[in-house]
Structures are given as C-alpha cells and as structure tokens.
Structure 1
Amino acid sequence: MAEPQDFAPKQRFRSNIAPSPDGRSVAYAANPDGQHNLYVAPVSGGEARKLTDHEHNSVRQIAWSPDGKSLLYTADFQGNEQFQLYLVDADGGQPRALTDTSDRQHVLGTTLDDAVPVAPFTPDGRAVVYAGNDRDAALQDLLVQDLDTGVVTRFETTPGTELHAASVSPDGRWLLASGFHSQADNDLLLADLHEPNAPLRLLTAHEGRRLHQPGPWTADSSGFHVRHNTAGEFLTLGRYSLSTGAITDLVTPAWDVEQVATSGTTTAWTVNEDGVSRLLVRRDDELLVLPELPAGVIGSLTIAGDLVAFLLTTGTRPTEVVALDLATRTLSYLTDSAPEVAVAFVEPALVRYPTHDGREVPAWLYRPHGDGVRGVVVSIHGGPEAQERPSYNYAGLYQYLLSQGVAVLAPNVRGSTGYGKTYQGLVLRDFGGAELGDFEHAVESLRGLDWVDPERIGVWGASYGGFATLSCLSRLPDLWAAGVSMVGPSNLLTLARSVPETWRIEMVDLLGDPDTEADFLLERSPITYVDAIKAPLFVIQGANDPRVVKAESDQIVAALRERGVDVRYDVYDDEGHGFTNRANELKAIGDTAEFLLAHLRQ
C-alpha cells in the first residue's frame, strides 16, 4: 500500500528561478538531497549542476550577474529568516558572504519571500542592491554594495514604510524601490544613485489601499512597467513615465495581471483567471501563438532572448522548471519531480458555495475516484491574503488523502487574493470574524452533497490556515471530527506583539492595535475559547519561527492539556515558518495525513 511519502515530489523548489543572460541555462534552488541548494540546469537538456552544498542554510532568492559569471543568492539558517547575501562563481567554488549580521535580514527584490524574479545588480555588474534592517531591527533600508570594495551606500527608511529594492535602470542612474505599508498597499520610490544624499522621490502618492507592483524598465530608462489597481478591483499592466509621472495602461483584463517580463521587443505576462494562470507573449506588437499549457499555476516568469522560463504546477503534477523556446514555440521540462506512484490522480473542480452575507466563496473540490460516502478535509490556505489554486500542494497531501478515499475542499474565503481588492480587504481587522461564517457554510455546503459523511469532516491549515483551524475547532466545535494546525497563531494579542519588528505597524492594519485593542484581539482569539475544543487536535510548530513564534502553539497546547485533553504536539527544533529540510517536511505532512485519516476514513 502506498505511503504519504510516495506522493511527495522528488524535490521542492523555491519560488524564484533565474535564466542566465545568454539564455542557455536556468538557475534554481531545490532540495533533492534534503536542504535547498543552488542548481544550474542547461536548457538544451542534461543533468543540473549543484553549486552549493549547504546543510543547515537554505537558499532562497537567486540572480545572475549581468556577465553570467556568478550568481547572487540569499540564505537563512534553519528557517530563522535572517537572510544573508552570498556570491558564488557560476562554475562552482566556495560562496563569498557579502553580509554577516546573523541577527538581521537582507532581502532581494520587492518581497520578504522569494516568490518573484529579482534584478539586484547594477547594469555594469559592479554593485548589488538589496534591503536590510541591519541599522535598526524595526526599519528596513535600501542598500547598495560595491562588490570590489565592499562599501555600502544607504538610503534610510522612516517608520511606517518597509523598503524593498526592485531594480536599477539600464542607464545605471535610478534605483526603483517599493515602500511596503501592508499586503495590499505600497508606494513606488526612486533613489538617485548619482546623488546618494538626495531624498527618495515618491512616485505614487495616493490615499487608501492601492498596490503598485514594479516591473522591468524600458530599454531607454524613461520608465518602467507597473502592475496596479488604482482604477479598479484588479491589477492591470501599465507603463510609468518618469518624465510625466503618468501610467499608461497596456493590459486591462477582468482578472489580476500577475507577472510581467521583458527582453528586447518581447513582453510576456500572466493573468490569474479564477486561479488558473494564462500565459501571453507579445513580440514586435504581435501576440504570439503559444503551445497549450495544462491548467495550473505559473510562477517566476522570466525572459532571456528567445527563452521564456518559469515554474509550472498543476493539481496533479508537482512544480517543475519549464522552458519555452519562442523561436520554435516548443515547451520542455528541465526537471522531473513527479512521484512514481501507481495511482490515478484527481483533477480539482472549481466550485462556489453561498455564504452568510450573500457572497459566493470560490473553492477547489477534490473528490476521490469511485462510489461511496466519504470523509472530507477542509484545507485552509495561509496568508490570509493568498489564494488556493490548482497546484500540487503540501508535498502531495491532497492526492494521498484522495487515494485513501478522503476528499478535500480548499476554499478561498474572504481575504483571499485573486478576486479583487474589495474581497481581499474583507478580512482586515476582522480575523476570527466574518470569515468564520465562510467556514461554517463550507461545511453546510459539503453536508448537502449525497456522497459526503457529515460526521467525518476535518479541518487543517498552516500559518493563517492554522489560526483558522483553531478558530473552527474552538468556535464551531460541533462541526469537526479532527483538526491539524501547523504554525498557527492561537492568540492575536501575543501574535501582534511578537512578530518581527519590521512587521509591527502592518499588524495594526491587519489585526488591530495590541496597545489599544487588547480586548478585541482576545475576543477574536482561539485561546479564549479553548475550553470548547473537543475534536482531536494535532499541532505542528517550528522552534525558530519568527512570524508565529513557538509560544503561540505552546499556550494552546498547555491550556488543552491542563483540561486533560489529549493533543498531539510536534516541535521541529531546526525549522521556522514552514519547512526548509525535506525530511522534516515529509515527516510532518505524512503525520498530518495519517492523523486526519485516523479520524475521517471509514
């Protein structure tokens, strides 16, 4: 009989890949040997070369130097997210550390995570641009480091704005940066690299919550691409002019434009159509006819000449590095991570169910093959400002549960991205509020299906999904047969006071003010209702988690055990917010699956 690990991909990837400047190879971070290290795969086919051999550090973001002779990357230690910068020769060798403040973080690109391509080099390759909180743990500055001398030029931020370095203009004059206020609100700024003492220039002054996601520069440095939602619900693709300060819209679909990449006269972008990625490429003002892609999710879209490279996953195939040759219009997989298990995988179906305030909640439903009454797991994604999509999630957890006769419903409740900024904003300062009704109505919808056993419905999730799981078990206790919370906060008051210092202001906008709204935060916290929990519970936590510290899991486990409630509690001493080590991830996901099956399988 198949085991959970049989459904796991052969390797997992970080979300950021990078094609070499000549388009002949693609760099990525993967963990086939256990820890995420840096690899380079030839586009023409053949074995990938492993460039780093970290055992405890996990490679995160990566980028090629303009001359293609070296690669820059970030790595942290056992999931602590105190990222440091390293430079390694493209032919291999000992990496060179560019930063060494082990209790501070240095990040590339416009996000703390590694979800988008990064462009951290100046065009001449002599310096790298990044952001770091080495001066003050609560403030993140823009930094420019000369690679020959090690001299760092600093552009200081101010409280209330978390700066991220996007890219340098082709003429080497301007550093484009993102000033992050919250998950759905940011500004774009310019730093003058010729006048480092000049103040940052604000480009996108606005009121309310608006996103301005920086894209690639125009070749003449007169402007840059930008994805924004200033005029509507969804992210459109436009071009910002430095001379006029105006944005000219180029692509305005009825969904979010997710990514954009350019090379010469070629522009590629993706559109998130109800969770499925659609790839479009325009060359010399003409839309190209592309080979058909499977319905799934495209990530880290990049271009180098005729090479379009990206990550691709579907509901039935794990993430792979994919290359599209625009000259021949051929698609090739540069990696093969699919598990070798003799089971017919289940394609997810997009469904919607009504909720308590007249809205409809989109969700992905995975129904096992065959007849019979089934148990169901409600899987709640993290974020909450994120989106459940048709991808091979959680190291094959869904497909293993399905092979054992248990269904999965993965909803995009209010607060999820992909359905407009109004829907995304519904969860702000309302954690444990209206979205609880979305989970209740998910169960009501499932109970209306003749193939679902209403007594065998479980819930699980990680991060925000872990919080939601604890909320469901404590505040809707009669609905659930079991639950699993992974790195899930149990107390919004202590969470708001323990997140990384650069996040403190965002927490007020997201959760509420712990100094003035302590009663409100406690009223919305699962710990307040812990005595109502009666379903079997499994809690998983990383000891080094900087986002949801271990005390969040400790306190709810202690409260349950004080009542004599049997709760399983697994702590991973060498992990943070999620998993960097392959063996740890496989154990945690496998244990999660077996725990749920013990209570949901007939």
Structure 2
Amino acid sequence: MAIESLFDEDHLIPIALLENTLFVFSSLDGCLYRLSHQTPRQVGEYEPVCLAEIESPFCVPGHPYIYDLVHTASLVTVREYPLTATGMASPRCRAYEAPPKETHQLTSLIPDAAAATLRIVFEPTAPNSPCLFTDVQSGITQPLETVRGTPRCVLSDGTVVSDSDGRWSIGSDANPQGHGDGTVIATASHFVIVRMSDKSGIWFSMVRTAGESDIEPPCGWTIVSLAASDKTVIAYAIHPKKGQRLLKAEPDNLTFSLMDSPCGTSQVFGMGAAFEPVVRSTGLLIGSLWQTQRTRLPGIAFAKNNLSLEYITPAEVPCVYVRRKESRANEIIVSLHGGPDSHELDDLRYGGIYWDALDAGFDVLITNYPGSAGFGAEYQEHAWKNWDAAVLQTADAINEFAAAKGVSGISIFGVSFGAWMGLQLSRHVKTRRLVAMSPLLNLTQHIQLHQDEDHNFRSWAEERFTQLGEKSLNGERYALACPVPVVILAPERDEIVLPASTQNSVLAATSACRQWTTITVPGNHYPHTSAEAAQRWTVLSNALTTNEC
C-alpha cells in the first residue's frame, strides 16, 4: 500500500527522526514509511521501508531502531535494525535465555531511564507469577514485582509505570506510589503524561514518583492533544474566539506560551525522553505538514495561498469562515460536526472536501453549535436538555452571518448528530438543501435503542436530553417538518445509526412528498479503509457542489 490520500496519512504514527528524515508507521497496513525533505517539493512523498524479513517487529518512539523479537521455547532472538536516511541497515543479532512460552508471553518493549536501555517485557500467563524484564542490550533478565496492568516505562529512579483499562499506576502492588484514571500517552525520564477523556472532554496530567499534577492551559484555552520530552511539553489547544494554536512549556513549571508555528488541527506525538514531540497539522491554508524540532516536512496535501480564513463568533457561536481571497461567494455551505460532544475548526476533514466546495464557488462556514466540546463547560452544557434554544442560537448565528455578507443561498451539511441539527435548522434558516452523511435523523429512536444496551450511554443521554417521546416514531416528525430537499449518504454497514432507522425516516418523508434522496455508500459510520473513504468523499463532493436542489 502507498500513502496516497489524507485518509492514509491520518493513520500514520511517527516513531523516529533522523536529521531531516521522519519514519512513520501506518496503523492501516502495518507498514513503515519514511518522509524526507532532501529536495524542495510542495507535497511529501512517503517511501515504503521493507519489513518483509522481520517476523515480529517492535519499536520505541524516539529510538532509531526496529527490533525483531522472536520468542521460541526458552530463547528470545533479538535482531536490531538501525534506521538510516535511506531505510534500514543490516541487523545486529543475538539470542538470550528467556522464560518458557508456557509461562510467559513477550508483550512489549519499553524504555528504562534508570538503566538507559530498553526492556523486553514478558508477562505471565498464569496468576501469581512475576512479570520479567530482559535488557535488550545485555540479555540480563530480572523479575518485576507485581504491577497493576501492563508496564509502560521505568523512570530514572527505577519506578515502574503501568496502565490498563483506563487506569494508571506507579510502583508495584507491594510498594504502590500512586494510581488514578487515565492512559499513559508519553514517557520521559522522570515523568509520564496521562490522558483522561470522556464525552465531556479531555484532560491531561503529569505523573512523577512524587505525585500527579494536572496540566492546565492558559485561560480560555482547551488542550486537545499533548506530549512531552525531558525538556519540552507541546500541546495543541483551541479557543472559542482565537481559534487554534500550539503551546509550549517546560516540564518543571508547565507555564504555557503560544508557539509561532503553523497550526490547523494538530496531533502531538511523544518521541521519548530525548526528542521534542512531533506535530502533525492539517488545515485549509497550510495543507498537511509534520513539524519536528529540526524541520518542517510537507505532507500529502498542498498548502493553499489563495484562501482566506477567519475565526468568528456570530451570536457567540464559534465558527470558521473560509473563502477564496479574490472573491466572496454568494452561496455558503454551513458545516455541522457530529457528536454533539465534539468540535471542528480549521481542518481537512472528509478528504479535504471543503476545497472542492471552494473551487465550485461556495464559501464555507464551519459551525460549532452550542453543545460542542472544547469551548468551555458552560457553552457545552448550555444545550443540555435545552436543544431548542441551541438550535435557535445556531440559526441566529447563521442568519446574522448571511445578512452581514449578503449571502443569497445557504446549504447545510451535517454529519451524524450534525444531520439532526441540520433538520432543525432548516425550519429557521432559509436553506436550499441539506446534505446529511451517516445521519442521525431519529434521535428518539436512537436514544431508546442504545440506552437499553449500554449503561454508560444511558447516563450520557439522560444528562443531555429530556424524554423525547414514548414511541420511537415520534422522532420522524423532524423529517416531516424539514421543508427543504435532503440528500442522504447512508453507510451500508453503519454500526452507530441503524440503517433501518434511516430508511424509515426517508420513507416517512418521501411518503409525504418531501424531496429526499438516498445514496448508499460502502463502509461503517466512518470509513475503515482507503477505498471506502475515497468512494464516500467522491459522493459527498458531488452532493455538496451540485447546483441542483
């Protein structure tokens, strides 16, 4: 497989940096690629690194090696492949004594800051047996006191940090140093970064042997992604009025300052103790790019210099307004994200679909309706059990914007829960059409179905929604009340919204002589393969950019 699309690039994880060459692993195909900046070019080219001879590959972010760790009988064979600017060099091979496969399973390779080495982790297959560590350089194996979960690293003082099932712990069961909620996402010599999340938001903390400290962003900002090295903490954060920025701090004081770096929507990846985190950013102006402590590497998508982008808040609703520099369009596409506990700002979602809309003569208004996450608890919770008010505030924002810009035509694009919001908005905004992808149309039925299957979903729904009706068919009144043409992109294997529910809403609308069209697309609620994504984005582009109602 080659990296040929934003969907492919979205699934890349950086593992090592050598000078101006970045090595990335694909979670789609399990392959290794390298991206370099050896010659000037506008977009990056990912060259595959052959792993065909490697039986069981392991790596540790920031370490420029691929390890082939093969556990057979009572031996572990270690083949250490150095990464080079042109790929991989010949391996250094050795074999060490190892616990029998009947009693222990080789599960991971972790950094040990105390011994300045890497440890092979053998977890016991039977209860009350110790976990074993093998030094990848010397082959010395030693037992580890029982820990809660899977070991993630050894800190410089010899303390082991583990996590499992959304809980972290530091120390052993016999000598516990601390524990709490969250998952270890980045390791350094003296601390780890822990991420906690639920549908209400994301939180980060720094865990040391001495204790846990919450990581607080500057006032008004919300951290979305974060990683750290021994010397630097880098975060991607959003703000309802100021948009998106990268933040930087020192681990010892965690006082963040704004970085002067390109920043659309970003992911921050930890690269171990010695190297600054790597940032991947995507945006309508910057395209896609990787930012490292040494250089910036262009990604798969071109940067655009013919577009204008503004963060605006009509009716106090956080929006992103995008248009071409040379002219302002008379028609806009209003985009509504799913969730509702989510957000969208400057990004290249759906394969960069907004570029197609801009090229077709539309402006784009990315809209974060009340109930969106990331803009403060008050804004998110304002919509709970008060969705009529959230719809009206969003309608006020769109109408205020349209009046100020002299917009003559408005199309609404809603994804998942955003499609339900679009149905409501069509009664308050003069809309030409609604394009609904993976749509949640019958909210009543959706809640009633899932709350009986999932206790967590029930709690989530009860916190956000009032009782919407005794009968599931009540939800179809929203379809009947929608006065505009609707185009539905319905995944054939949608595991979130039942296809039958979507079909029933469409049938109710068409039976009432509403102009609804359904296009079936392959895949799940969100595409799982490159082919599914490419086909869906093509259908979506045609639906959004056509002038037919």
Task: Return the TM-score normalized by structure 1.
Answer: 0.64
The answer to whether the 8 A contact 1:381-1:462 is kept is yes
1:316 to 285, 291, 304: 285
Distance 1:282 1:423 in 2: 30
CA offsets, 1:131-158, max 9 Å, x none?
xxxxxxxxxxxxx9999xxxxxx999xx
Aligned to 2:483: 534
Aligned to 2:370: 414
Q: Does 1:40 align with 2:28?
A: no
Q: Does 1:68 align with 2:65?
A: yes
CA offsets, 1:229-287, max 9 Å, x none?
9xxx99786534555x5536676444123333233333333333433122425489899
Bigger CA radius of gyration: 2
Map 1:546-557 onto structure 2 (within 5 A): 546-557=495-506
Query: Structure 1 residues 505, 290: CA separation in 2 closer, same or farther (over 3 Å shift)?
Result: closer
Aligned to 1:353: 314
1:482 to 433, 456, 469: 433
Q: Does 1:175 align with 2:175?
A: no
1:504 to 454, 470, 489: 454
CA offsets, 1:164-216, max 9 Å, x none?
9894554573323564xxxxxxxx54387667xx9997536xxxxxxx67554
Distance 2:151 2:374 in 1: 23
1:394 to 350, 360, 366: 350
Question: Which letter maps to 2:163?
Answer: L
Question: Which letter maps to 1:576?
Answer: N
Aligned to 1:101: none
Q: Does 1:545 align with 2:538?
A: no
2:400 to 442, 445, 458: 445
> Sequence identity, in percent?
15
Query: Structure 1 residues 276, 421: CA separation in 2 closer, same or farther (over 3 Å shift)?
Result: same
Q: Does 1:18 align with 2:14?
A: yes
The answer to whether the 8 A contact 2:14-2:61 is kept is yes
1:126 to 120, 124, 129: 120
Aligned to 1:108: none
Question: Which letter maps to 2:238?
Answer: N
Deviation at 1:413, TM superposition (A): 1.5
CA offsets, 1:109-147, max 9 Å, x none?
xxxxxxxxxx97544553499xxxxxxxxxxxxxx9999
Aligned to 1:109: none
Aligned to 1:136: none
Deviation at 1:572, TM superposition (A): 2.4
Aligned to 1:85: none
Question: Which letter maps to 2:229?
Answer: S
1:293 to 261, 284, 293: 261
Q: Secondary structure at the match of 2:341?
A: coil
Q: Does 1:467 align with 2:436?
A: no
2:248 to 248, 257, 280: 280
Question: Which letter maps to 1:444?
Answer: N
Question: Which letter maps to 1:176?
Answer: D
Query: Structure 1 residues 312, 556: CA separation in 2 closer, same or farther (over 3 Å shift)?
Result: same
Query: Structure 1 residues 224, 597: CA separation in 2 closer, same or farther (over 3 Å shift)?
Result: closer
2:508 to 541, 555, 559: 559
Aligned to 1:115: none
The answer to whether the 8 A contact 2:159-2:170 is kept is no
The answer to whether the 8 A contact 1:165-1:178 is kept is no
The answer to whether the 8 A contact 1:512-1:521 is kept is no
Map 1:142-157 onto structure 2 (within 5 A): none
Question: Which letter maps to 2:336?
Answer: I
Question: Which letter maps to 1:571?
Answer: T
Distance 1:512 1:405 in 2: 42
Aligned to 2:48: 50
Deviation at 1:439, TM superposition (A): 2.7
Aligned to 1:27: 24
Map 1:83-482 onto structure 2 (within 5 A): 121-123=109-111, 124-127=118-121, 167-170=152-155, 171=158, 173-177=160-164, 179=166, 188-190=167-169, 203=180, 216-217=186-187, 219-220=189-190, 224-226=192-194, 239-243=206-210, 245=211, 247=213, 252-273=218-239, 274-280=242-248, 282=250, 292-304=260-272, 305-306=274-275, 308-325=277-294, 331-333=295-297, 335-338=299-302, 345-354=306-315, 360-370=316-326, 374-430=330-386, 432-453=387-408, 456-473=409-426, 476=427, 479-482=430-433
Deviation at 1:586, TM superposition (A): 3.9
Distance 2:349 2:185 in 1: 28
Q: Secondary structure at the match of 1:264?
A: coil
Question: Which letter maps to 1:519?
Answer: G
Distance 1:517 1:127 in 2: 50
Aligned to 1:589: 537
Query: Structure 1 residues 367, 541: CA separation in 2 closer, same or farther (over 3 Å shift)?
Result: same
Query: Structure 1 residues 521, 393: CA separation in 2 closer, same or farther (over 3 Å shift)?
Result: farther
Question: Which letter maps to 2:235?
Answer: W
Aligned to 1:185: none
Q: Secondary structure at the match of 1:579?
A: coil
Query: Structure 1 residues 280, 450: CA separation in 2 closer, same or farther (over 3 Å shift)?
Result: closer
Query: Structure 1 residues 242, 282: CA separation in 2 closer, same or farther (over 3 Å shift)?
Result: closer
**Structure 2 residues without counterparts, runs of 5 or longer:** 40-44, 52-58, 70-80, 89-106, 112-117, 124-130, 135-145
Question: Which letter maps to 2:526?
Answer: G
Query: Structure 1 residues 598, 224: CA separation in 2 closer, same or farther (over 3 Å shift)?
Result: closer
The answer to whether the 8 A contact 2:441-2:479 is kept is no
CA offsets, 1:90-111, max 9 Å, x none?
989xxxxxxxxxxxxxxxxxxx
Q: Secondary structure at the match of 1:13?
A: helix
Aligned to 2:469: 519
Query: Structure 1 residues 224, 598: CA separation in 2 closer, same or farther (over 3 Å shift)?
Result: closer
Q: Does 1:578 align with 2:526?
A: yes
Distance 2:380 2:351 in 1: 27
Deviation at 1:361, TM superposition (A): 1.0
Distance 1:49 1:172 in 2: 39
Deviation at 1:346, TM superposition (A): 1.8
What is the aligned residue count? 471
The answer to whether the 8 A contact 1:318-1:338 is kept is yes
Distance 1:462 1:515 in 2: 19
Query: Structure 1 residues 507, 443: CA separation in 2 closer, same or farther (over 3 Å shift)?
Result: same
Distance 2:379 2:466 in 1: 27
Aligned-residue RMSD, C-alpha = 4.8
Distance 2:322 2:465 in 1: 43
Deviation at 1:380, TM superposition (A): 0.5
Distance 1:236 1:514 in 2: 21
Query: Structure 1 residues 224, 308: CA separation in 2 closer, same or farther (over 3 Å shift)?
Result: closer
Aligned to 2:72: none
The answer to whether the 8 A contact 2:225-2:266 is kept is no
Deviation at 1:555, TM superposition (A): 2.0
Query: Structure 1 residues 549, 16: CA separation in 2 closer, same or farther (over 3 Å shift)?
Result: farther
Deviation at 1:377, TM superposition (A): 1.3
**Structure 1 residues without counterparts, runs of 5 or longer:** 1-7, 54-61, 73-88, 93-118, 130-143, 148-153, 157-163, 180-187, 205-211, 326-330, 355-359
